[in-house]
Amino acid sequence: MRAQSNDLEGESFNISITAFDRAKAGEIVYETVEKPGHPRLRVITLPIMDRTKTTSPSLVQVATLLDDFDETMERLLIILIIGALTSVGVTIGAGYYMAKKALKPVDKIRKTAVKISSRNLEEYIDIGPRKDELGKLADTFNAMISRLRDAFQRINQFSIDVSHELKTPLTILKGSTDVALRKERDSHEYRSLLTSHLEEIDRMSQIIDDLLLLSKADTGKMQLNIGDVDVRDLVLEVFMDMQILAEKKNVDLIVGDVEDVKLKGDELKLRRMLWNIVDNGIKYTQMGGKVEISSTLEDGYVRINVRDTGVGIADEDISYIFDRFYRADRARKRESGTGLGLSISKWIAEAHKGAIEVRSHASSGSLFSLKLPLSGGDA
Ligand code: ADP
């Protein structure tokens, strides 16, 4: 027998056969019933058993419409979709903004790099005080610009100095030739003029030779012919070469204690270096003064020391004397050298993994010390 309440308005709802069977077996069954063109129903089927449980149970079914629930779920779904789309949009927007903000310094670095040329090396990147990787990148970049600026300044100064050094002898040659040509001269006057011209020409070719040597050194094209060099022989050879010069100037050139050791090096270049230092010693020492060459040993190195009793070097000049064309007293010293000797000597010492050290004070003489590594066996 089957009875049905009125509120279903004659609508029937049939649960599935399995649900029906399970209810008949005494189980409470929940099921959702769907019919095309009708709202969904949620049905609970309760088996009612008699006490003896011998007969099959009667079934009571209660159903409720799911349209409210479905509507709520539908709204929830729409809210979820809108929420998800909005949060994706916000995330993309915020991500883009943050990435753009984070990459702004990179763009600044890029723009500065594009602008940099030899004419605007005072530019630098200002991304504020940052300690992160971008801050470090900007600092590195600024340090690189500053190094480039120094290098360009040095090159500029160097070109000015070269022009000046070559222009002075040319001006002298031109001036003296002009004067000589103003009237007839006797052969003695011509000879003396040509002799002075020859000196200026020698000076110019010395400058050019020195410049060529330094530019080869700078570009790494200078080869060292390494071999065994006997320190005593080296000192004695330079001593012999320079003796006449010292005698001419009435400077006492002497050789003190010299170690009997060997170096690995380029003999010609080492001689050139020692020659420069001894030549300076004689040049910058007054008549009656003394220049002494000696050597000492020190932890795998030999020091060839050249001590003079000359004019010395003022404190404000000492850190510049190895710079190209630097002369402590330009006006007075023009005749005496090119201002390149110490730059060349420094390069030669460093190319041999050594160094030149100097100790001097104005008017108390100078000590130049050439520190060079010994050959393996002698150290
Ligand atoms: P220069 O050809 O002028 O001697 P250097 O490069 O050899 O050039 O030396 C540079 C400058 O260092 C010299 O002009 C001089 O002012 C100074 N100097 C070098 N050696 C001595 C020295 N023994 N005593 C005093 N001043 C020196």
Shared-domain flag, residues 364 and 235: yes
**Residue 340 CA, closest ligand 1 atom number:** 6
**Is residue 84 in some structural domain?**
no
Pocket test of ligand 1: the residue of 168, 211, 251, 313 to mutate, having most ligand atoms within 8 Å of its CB, is 313
Q: Is residue 313 in contact with ligand 1, taking CB distance under 6 Å?
A: yes
Residue 330 inside a domain? The answer is yes
CB atoms within 10 A of CB 197: 16
- Measured in angstroms, how far is the CA atom of residue 321 from the centroid of ligand 1? 6
On whether both 344 and 243 belong to a single domain, the answer is yes
* Res 54 pLDDT > 60: yes
Å from CA of 172 to ligand 1 middle: 23
Do 260 and 176 sit in the same domain of this protein? no
* Domain edge (last residue) among 184, 218, 252: 218
Q: Is 311 in the pocket of ligand 1 (CB under 6 A)?
A: yes
Distance CA 297, CA 231 (A): 11
E strands, the chain, where?
A: 29-33, 41-48, 58-65, 226-230, 252-255, 262-266, 290-298, 301-308, 355-360, 366-373
43 CB contacts (<8 Å, ≥6 apart)?
Answer: 13, 15, 30, 31, 32, 33, 61, 62, 63
Is residue 33 in a domain? yes
What atom in ligand 1 is closest to the CA of residue 368? 23
pLDDT of residue 361: 84
User: From ligand 1's centre to the CA of 3, what distance in Å?
Assistant: 127
Q: Is residue 336 part of a domain?
A: yes
Any idea what the CATH number is for the domain that residue 203 is in? 1.10.287.130
**243 and 262: one domain?**
yes
Residue owning tokens 């103003």: 182
Q: Please, are residues 275 and 234 in contact by the beta-carbon 8 Å criterion? A: no
Task: Tell me which residue of 39, 28, 34 sits closest to 15, measured CA to CA.
Answer: 34
Question: Quick one: pLDDT at residue 246?
Answer: 96
Q: Which residues is 308 bridged to in the sheet?
A: 291, 366
Helices 133-181, 67-115: axis angle to 10 degrees equals: 20
Is residue 310 in contact with ligand 1, taking CB distance under 6 Å?
A: yes
The predicted pLDDT at position 379 comes to 42
In a domain, 115, yes or no: no
The reply to whether 357 falls in a domain is yes
Is 105 a pocket residue for ligand 1 (Cβ < 6 Å)? no
Q: What are the DSSP calls for 198-218, one per residue?
A: HHHHHHHHHHHHHHHHHHHHH
251 lines ligand 1 (CB under 6 A): no
Are the C-beta atoms of 264 and 373 separated by less than 8 Å?
A: yes
Q: Quick one: pLDDT at residue 293?
A: 98
Residues 202 and 231 in one domain: no
Q: Which atom of ligand 1 is nearest to the CA of 339?
A: 8
Q: Which residue has the tokens 């003394």?
A: 290
Q: Is 284 in the pocket of ligand 1 (CB under 6 A)?
A: yes
- The verdict on 210 and 233 lying in the same domain is no
Domain count, the chain: 3
Q: Is 359 in the same domain as 282?
A: yes
Is residue 111 assigned to a domain? no
Token pair for 349? 């010492």
The residue-averaged pLDDT of 12-29 equals: 86
- Please name the residues in contact with 6: beta carbons below 8 A apart, sequence gap of 6 or more: none
pTM, 2 dp: 0.67
CB distance 307 to ligand 1 below 6 Å: no
Where residue 252 sits, what CATH number does that domain have?
3.30.565.10
Residue keyed to tokens 């602008």: 115
Whether pLDDT at 378 is above 60: no
Verify whether ligand 1 is closer than 6 Å to residue 337 (CB atom).
yes
Mean per-residue pLDDT over the chain, rounded: 89
Atom 20 of ligand 1 has which residue's CA nearest to it?
280
Last residue of a domain, one of 190, 218, 246: 218
Residues 159 and 263 in one domain: no
For ligand 1, atom 11, name the residue with the nearest CA: 327
309 lines ligand 1 (CB under 6 A): no
Confidence of residue 322 (pLDDT cuts 50, 70, 90): very high
Tell me if 75 is assigned to some domain: no
More confident residue, 13 or 24: 24
Q: In this predicted model, what pLDDT tens digit does every residue of 69-117 receive, in sequence order?
A: 889 999 999 999 999 999 999 999 999 999 988 888 888 888 888 888 8
Total residue count of the chain as it appears in this document: 379
Quick one: DSSP state of residue 7? G
Ligand 1 pocket member 321 (CB < 6 A): yes
Same domain, 284 and 301: yes
With bands split at pLDDT 50, 70 and 90, how would you rate the model's confidence at 333? low
Q: Among 49, 65, 81, where does a domain finish?
A: 65
Closest CA to 222 of 209, 237, 235, 212: 212
d(CA 374, CA 229): 10
Predicted confidence (pLDDT) at residue 312 exceeds the cutoff of 50: yes
| 290 shares a domain with 256 | yes
Which one of 211, 253, 327, 330 would you pick to mutate in the ligand 1 pocket, going by the greatest count of ligand atoms within 8 A of its CB? 327
How do residues 188-239 score in pLDDT, each as one tens digit?
999 999 999 998 999 899 899 999 999 888 888 888 999 999 999 999 999 9
Q: How far is the CA of 176 from the centre of ligand 1 (A)?
A: 28
Same domain, 203 and 242: no
Ligand 1 center to 120 CA (angstroms): 35
* Euclidean distance between CA atoms 92 and 96, whole angstroms: 6
The whole-angstrom separation of Cα 358 and Cα 360 is 6
* Minimum-distance ligand 1 atom for the alpha carbon of 344: 6
pLDDT the model gives residue 331: 47
- What range does the domain containing 175 cover? 133-218
Is residue 208 located within the same domain as residue 236? no
